A and B are shown apart, each in its own frame.
Chain A
Amino acid sequence: MLKIIVPTMMLIPLTWLSKPSMIWINTTAYSMLISLIGLTYLNQFTDNNLNFSLLFFTDSLSAPLLVLTTWLLPLMLMASQHHLSKETLTRKKLYITMLVTLQLLLIMTFTATELIMFYILFEATLMPTLIIITRWGNQTERLNAGLYFLFYTLVGSLPLLIALLWLQSNLGTLNLLVIQYWTQPLLSSWSNTLLWLACMMAFMVKMPLYGLHLWLPKAHVEAPIAGSMVLAAVLLKLGGYGMMRITILLNPLTDFMAYPFMMLSLWGMIMTSSICLRQTDLKSLIAYSSVSHMALVIVAVLIQSPWSYMGATALMIAHGLTSSMLFCLANSNYERIHSRTMILARGLQTLLPLMAAWWLLASLTNLALPPTINLVGELFVVMASFSWSNITIILMGINITITALYSLYMLITTQRGKYTHHVKNIKPSFTRENSLMTLHLLPLLLLSLNPKVILGPIY
């Protein structure tokens, strides 16, 4: 594990000691190399997990998320270049340091063996994110967004700390590898219900569950591009990952406790999708689409069948790459039009044809076109929920339809039609941007060839 953590730490001195002209290239190249090291963990040759030390391990659930995290850092760096071009050198370096710190914490979160350590790191990721949002966001609302982000997450997760402490004193360990053998069945009682809620709510807020999602559109919209990318791609997945890890402690109570949350998610994904249909703000649309996709993951995790777990894992990875790519595209529009309003950036296909191709592919993956991994994820979740209850197919079906609609609505509004006059003298798309989109899309397409890598534990 150190072979990822130490190089990631060394990215910080690399940033500060690089020549001013080289900071982006150096960090991007080295972080890309680091992500290549992580790829080996996708090969889970044992059925259980790979132990690195007493502190760190990966298994087939965390390895894809780990790779996603390391893969995303170079992409974030590439995406932020233009956004920071007017900042001073020190601030650029500080920004990169924040991103690197975040990546470091995320890597350790995904590989932590102890639940308390997981908790501490989980909380620690808030800090760099908060700084990125509130320091480098574009508008004054970023402060409000930062507050929402911090307090929603904290309020959700503090009960988890108490619950973990209680579990520690009760079970004697919080080691994830041991705990699954030592855990006692959780019978239905008021105190156990509270324990269940305490354990799950932290992740439900992070996911976010419909009703607790207010922080997400605000944070996504106000964050700078790298912040939006990492929030959508990785931070939301912490919730799903945590839920999958902690549900082993909470059986069989989950079967009973899941109902209200399932209902809320199933209903919420339709509500958030229909909000997407009415959005005028591009980033807000993408953010709401994240909420709607994550509702699927919540449903899948709560169903707790092998198919649903596979679907949830695949969907998390697929959505991570897709929504991150959509944010990048939105940002490339923003850098040209200087507005997030969709109607101001119409008809761009005429001016930026290659960018239109990326838009098309991103929208198609967002609406889960077969045989992309988005489809694999969504299909498995739909299968799992259908076998849980046949009626859910109606809600799922409505959601599938609306998802297709708003994805293509977004595509048509931004790319099709006649272009407006004020966009006539925009810059052409840079190689940096095109390669950024390629690097998002390549994993998506390649993983479709062998989705088994990201399906998590195949039972």
Chain B
Amino acid sequence: MNLFTSSILVTLFMLTLPIMMANTSMYINKLYPRYVKTTISYAFMISLIPTMMFLHLGQDTMISNWHWITIQTMKLSLSFKFDYFSMIFVPVALFVTWSIMEFSIWYMHSDPYINRFFKYLLLFLITMMILVTANNMFQLFIGWEGVGIMSFLLIGWWYGRTDANTAALQAILYNRIGDVGFIMAMAWFLTNLNTWDLQQIFMANHENLNIPLIGLLLAATGKSAQFGLHPWLPSAMEGPTPVSALLHSSTMVVAGVFLLIRFHPLMEHNKTLQTITLCLGAITTLFTAICALTQNDIKKIVAFSTSSQLGLMIVTIGINQPYLAFLHICTHAFFKAMLFMCSGSIIHSLNDEQDIRKMGGLFKALPFTTTSLIVGSLALTGMPFLTGFYSKDLIIETANTSYTNAWALLMTLVATSMTAAYSTRIMFFTLLGQPRFSPIITINENDPHLINSIKRLLFGSIFAGFLISYNITPTTTPQMTMPHYLKMMALIVTILGFILALELNLMMQNLKFKYPSGLFKFSNMLGYFPTIIHRLMPKTNLLMGQKSASTLLDMTWMEKILPKSISHFQMKSSIAVSNQKGLIKLYFMSFMLTLTLSLLTLSFHG
């Protein structure tokens, strides 16, 4: 039993070591990135001990130490929760991060501030660990805001570029809107339940939990880029590719889903919220899949596919299956991080070219990347017995057999089919056909850092799903029987998507380019969402700030009403009551008259 808690704490403590080392000469050293990478790999291996013990014994643990503050009857202390979710997520996150760190050594090797980059990535990882292991809402909020700020710093890594800065600010803005929901939930829990501890919240027996749950859903919408607050995720692709691989595919963006999973005991019996969640997820997964269909930037396609998968996870929560959603988080981490790394490898090899129209024929030049990209895409679409299959197939089956909103489920199915379509599109444009890139580029993927890191995730993408779903204990009763057509549905729509996309691509490739249709523009312009929302809203708000708040009120009315008018009236009234009129001639005249008169009287007196 002691081994359990102590090895967890060692894992968490180890991660802070390189941060502390940043004050020493180690930080100036060229080996700092490797040091960080190795630390994370050790942390991963140590974290396997408690996870295996957890899988074997099924014990939950809660560590509560260092009492922070007690306010009235509410006690806040540093408290970690090691239950099913955190015990499985921690090794997965560490494993993925380990690979991404190794990948970054290769990808960022020419960056002069590579050490700082690693420090930021590690800080991000720590905040993520705080988020998943937190046992009270305040600690969760620390991690929650921490990942937001780290994403701001990492997206804006190339701070000389305006786009990167805008994207970073955009990410913060959307996240912050979500945070308001989080704060609202915190406020509600405090006022009504007088606690922020998760256990105590779950024990609560309150009849109407709509307000906090809406707050949490809003928080998840912001962090997990659900419809309405989604545009920041594709914009965040301005950051370096390792950042996209770590933050915007496998860890940070799933934090919102993770939050909903954590608070699932409250949502279990609330049908209203489940319906809202289901519809939100379905809209997101369909809309972002549509957007992914026509994008040309390879990273943006992967980003939209992430958004779509996040929508799928939210759908899973909406159909009351948090454990499945969590399983999808874990499996998704492997292949999505790998897809980003593969696109990073391609982008780097092609001299920072991200447009898939300018790629092609890479299967000869980059055989390893090609393999991984194909495996990753297949895993993403839910090809049987790859990692994605174990969660995605289950989700679709459960959705098909559930009796909730059929439209939302239909939308999810369509989105699943589209997943195959845009995956095909990536493969078709980048890997197949003739090269369309500039011939002077020297392509080289034979760097051990690149190969090893992708290879590790490649194995993960093939086997992790099996390993995880084989080892975890089933928590909800799976649907045992269903008609054939429902059982095959997920596979059929996926294959349908594949075939359709392949046929379309083959057929359309040599056609003359027509003026794009309205539907194409809708998809390509991301549903006109950024155009409308990113123009109109900031413009109105900034204009209001300028015109009404600053110019009209502060500089005109408030000046006029108080200081200006007072001084004006003072001046007027003092002029009015004064007997000095400024009539100099008259004054002198009267003065002279007095003088002459007095002189005359004086002189004639005697």
Could you tell me which A residues sit within 8 Å of B by CB distance?
148, 151-152, 211-212, 214, 217, 271-272, 274-278, 306-307, 310, 347, 349-350, 360, 364, 369-371, 379, 382-383, 386-387, 390, 393, 396-397, 400-401, 404-405, 408-409, 412, 415-418, 450-452, 455, 458-459
Identify B172's interface contact among A271, A277, A390, A405, CB under 8 A: A405
Please give the distance in Å from B455's CB to the nearest CB on chain A.
36
A400–B549 contact, CB under 8 A? no
Residues of A within 8 A of B191 (CB): 383, 386-387
Instruction: Tell me the bound Cα distance from A396 to B71 in angstroms.
Output: 22
Residues of B within 8 A of A451 (CB): 69
Since A400-B179, A405-B176, A408-B152 are in contact, a sample of 19 more A-B pairs with Cβ atoms closer than 8 Å, ordered by chain A residue number, is A148-B563, A152-B562, A214-B562, A274-B542, A274-B544, A277-B545, A360-B153, A370-B141, A371-B138, A382-B183, A382-B187, A386-B187, A387-B187, A387-B190, A396-B180, A405-B173, A416-B160, A417-B160, A455-B71
Residues of A within 8 A of B138 (CB): 370-371
Find residues 121-177 in chain B having any chain A CB closer than 8 Å to their own CB.
138, 141-142, 144-146, 149, 152-153, 156, 159-160, 162, 165, 168-169, 172-173, 176-177
Instruction: Tell me the bound Cα distance from A139 to B173 in angstroms.
Output: 36
Instruction: Tell me the bound Cα distance from A318 to B560 in angstroms.
Output: 34
A272–B549 contact, CB under 8 A? yes
Find residues 24-81 in chain B having any chain A CB closer than 8 Å to their own CB.
68-69, 71-72
With known contacts A271-B553, A383-B187, A386-B191, A459–B563 Cβ distance under 8 A: no
Residues of A within 8 A of B149 (CB): 364, 369
Interface of B is mostly: helix
Please give the distance in Å from B259's CB to the nearest CB on chain A.
15
Max count, chain B CB within 10 A of own CB: residue among A271, A396, A416, A458: A416
B563–A151 contact, CB under 8 A? yes
A211–B558 contact, CB under 8 A? yes
Identify B142's interface contact among A347, A371, A393, CB under 8 A: A371
Residues of B within 8 A of A459 (CB): 72
In the complex, the chain B residue whose C-beta lies closest to that of A211 is B558
Please give the distance in Å from A354's CB to the nearest CB on chain B.
12
B190–A214 contact, CB under 8 A? no
Residues of A within 8 A of B542 (CB): 274, 277-278
Instruction: Tell me the bound Cα distance from A11 to B544 in angstroms.
Output: 49
B559–A404 contact, CB under 8 A? no
The contact sample of 24 A-B pairs, CB cut-off 8 A, is: A152-B562, A214-B562, A214-B563, A217-B554, A275-B545, A360-B153, A369-B146, A370-B141, A370-B142, A383-B187, A386-B191, A393-B187, A396-B183, A397-B180, A397-B183, A400-B180, A401-B173, A401-B176, A408-B169, A416-B160, A450-B69, A451-B69, A452-B69, A455-B71
Instruction: Tell me the bound Cα distance from A360 to B160 in angstroms.
Output: 16
Residues of B within 8 A of A383 (CB): 186-187, 190-191
Instruction: Tell me the bound Cα distance from A212 to B188 in angstroms.
Output: 33
Residues of B within 8 A of A387 (CB): 187, 190-191
A274–B558 contact, CB under 8 A? no
| Count of residues in B whose CB is under 8 Å from the partner chain | 47
Please give the distance in Å from B255's CB to the nearest CB on chain A.
14
Instruction: Tell me the bound Cα distance from A289 to B225 in angstroms.
Output: 29
Please give the distance in Å from A106's CB to the nearest CB on chain B.
26
Is there a chain A Cβ closer than 8 Å to B464's Cβ? no
Please give the distance in Å from A74's CB to the nearest CB on chain B.
25
Identify B159's interface contact among A275, A349, A397, CB under 8 A: A349
Instruction: Tell me the bound Cα distance from A212 to B561 in angstroms.
Output: 11
Is there a chain A Cβ closer than 8 Å to B475's Cβ? no
Please give the distance in Å from A395's CB to the nearest CB on chain B.
11
Is there a chain A Cβ closer than 8 Å to B446's Cβ? no
Max count, chain B CB within 10 A of own CB: residue among A212, A393, A452: A393
Instruction: Tell me the bound Cα distance from A400 to B544 in angstroms.
Output: 18
Identify A400's interface contact among B165, B176, B550, CB under 8 A: B176
Is there a chain A Cβ closer than 8 Å to B87's Cβ? no
A347–B546 contact, CB under 8 A? no
In the complex, the chain B residue whose C-beta lies closest to that of A449 is B68
Instruction: Tell me the bound Cα distance from A313 to B172 in angstroms.
Output: 28
Instruction: Tell me the bound Cα distance from A426 to B68 in angstroms.
Output: 44
Instruction: Tell me the bound Cα distance from A349 to B362 in angstroms.
Output: 39
Residues of A within 8 A of B152 (CB): 408
Please give the distance in Å from A213's CB to the nearest CB on chain B.
8
Residues of B within 8 A of A382 (CB): 183, 187
A405–B169 contact, CB under 8 A? yes
A275–B549 contact, CB under 8 A? yes
Is there a chain A Cβ closer than 8 Å to B303's Cβ? no
Residues of A within 8 A of B546 (CB): 278
* A-B pairs, 3 with minimum CB distance: A274-B545, A397-B180, A386-B187
Residues of B within 8 A of A417 (CB): 159-160, 162, 165
B188–A275 contact, CB under 8 A? no
Please give the distance in Å from B80's CB to the nearest CB on chain A.
15
Please give the distance in Å from B90's CB to the nearest CB on chain A.
21
Is there a chain A Cβ closer than 8 Å to B211's Cβ? yes
Identify B183's interface contact among A271, A350, A379, CB under 8 A: A379
In the complex, the chain B residue whose C-beta lies closest to that of A399 is B180
In the complex, the chain B residue whose C-beta lies closest to that of A459 is B72
Is there a chain A Cβ closer than 8 Å to B491's Cβ? no
In the complex, the chain A residue whose C-beta lies closest to that of B187 is A386
Instruction: Tell me the bound Cα distance from A405 to B191 in angstroms.
Output: 28
With known contacts A214-B558, A275-B550, A278-B545, A347–B172 Cβ distance under 8 A: no
With known contacts A370-B138, A371-B142, A387-B191, A278–B550 Cβ distance under 8 A: yes
Please give the distance in Å from A393's CB to the nearest CB on chain B.
5
Please give the distance in Å from B171's CB to the nearest CB on chain A.
10
With known contacts A347-B160, A371-B142, A408-B152, A274–B188 Cβ distance under 8 A: no
With known contacts A370-B141, A383-B186, A393-B184, A404–B172 Cβ distance under 8 A: yes
Residues of B within 8 A of A401 (CB): 173, 176-177, 180
Residues of A within 8 A of B559 (CB): 214
Residues of B within 8 A of A450 (CB): 68-69
Residues of A within 8 A of B573 (CB): none
B184–A415 contact, CB under 8 A? no
With known contacts A271-B549, A401-B173, A408-B169, A390–B180 Cβ distance under 8 A: no
B558–A412 contact, CB under 8 A? no
Residues of A within 8 A of B2 (CB): none
Instruction: Tell me the bound Cα distance from A400 to B186 in angstroms.
Output: 15
B169–A307 contact, CB under 8 A? no
A458–B71 contact, CB under 8 A? yes
In the complex, the chain A residue whose C-beta lies closest to that of B548 is A271
Instruction: Tell me the bound Cα distance from A306 to B71 in angstroms.
Output: 10
Instruction: Tell me the bound Cα distance from A274 to B545 in angstroms.
Output: 5
B183–A310 contact, CB under 8 A? no
Is there a chain A Cβ closer than 8 Å to B603's Cβ? no
Residues of A within 8 A of B165 (CB): 412, 416-417
Please give the distance in Å from B151's CB to the nearest CB on chain A.
12
Instruction: Tell me the bound Cα distance from A75 to B179 in angstroms.
Output: 34
Residues of A within 8 A of B168 (CB): 408, 412
Please give the distance in Å from A412's CB to the nearest CB on chain B.
5
A306–B162 contact, CB under 8 A? no
B211–A390 contact, CB under 8 A? yes
A397–B184 contact, CB under 8 A? yes
Instruction: Tell me the bound Cα distance from A387 to B194 in angstroms.
Output: 12
Is there a chain A Cβ closer than 8 Å to B541's Cβ? yes
Instruction: Tell me the bound Cα distance from A323 to B383 in angstroms.
Output: 56
- B528-543 contact mask (Cβ, 8 Å, vs A): 1 or 0: 0000000000000110
Identify B180's interface contact among A349, A393, A408, A455, CB under 8 A: A393
- B251-290 contact mask (Cβ, 8 Å, vs A): 1 or 0: 0000000000000000000000000000000000000000
